[in-house]
Amino acid sequence: MGPVNWLAVLVAVFGALAVSAAWYGPMFGRARLEVVGPGGLGIRRSPARTTAITAALLFVSAAMMGHMFARVGTETLAVKWWLYFMMSGGLAVAFVIPSLWISYTHQRISTRLALIDGGFWLVAYLAMGLVFFLL
């Protein structure tokens, strides 16, 4: 196992936060607000607190991703560069999105919101994979 690239871990967190700002801002912010309504989910917290919680939890995901890539090794990843995207996207598609949708099903949250949020996690994890690929 090689060393974890901690710089890439931190940059990956900021990359995923940038995706979050775009995704829940100009891209799907209005559509999400239509589903949850004013005073709905996430509106009760201050934006600073929400960002801090999001960053902390994204750090956990990015750190685990960094360990995963370190375990594979730089030699393998240099030859098989697509593993960055296959592994990061695979985490989102195989674990994060299904668990999110199972939770949403039990809470009877709309399919539209599940698709918006699932799409965010896929794009955010692929963005983190891109950061690790570039760094």
pLDDT tens per residue across all 135 residues of the chain: 679 999 999 999 999 999 999 998 899 888 877 777 666 555 556 778 888 999 999 999 999 999 999 999 999 999 999 999 999 999 999 999 999 999 999 988 888 899 999 999 999 999 999 999 999
Q: Rounded CA gap, 41 and 2, in Å?
A: 41
Show the beta-strand stretches assigned E in 28-114.
Answer: none
- Domain spans of the chain, in order of start: 6-134
Q: Which tokens sit at 114?
A: 């599940």
Tell me the pTM.
0.89
Residue 129, pLDDT score: 97
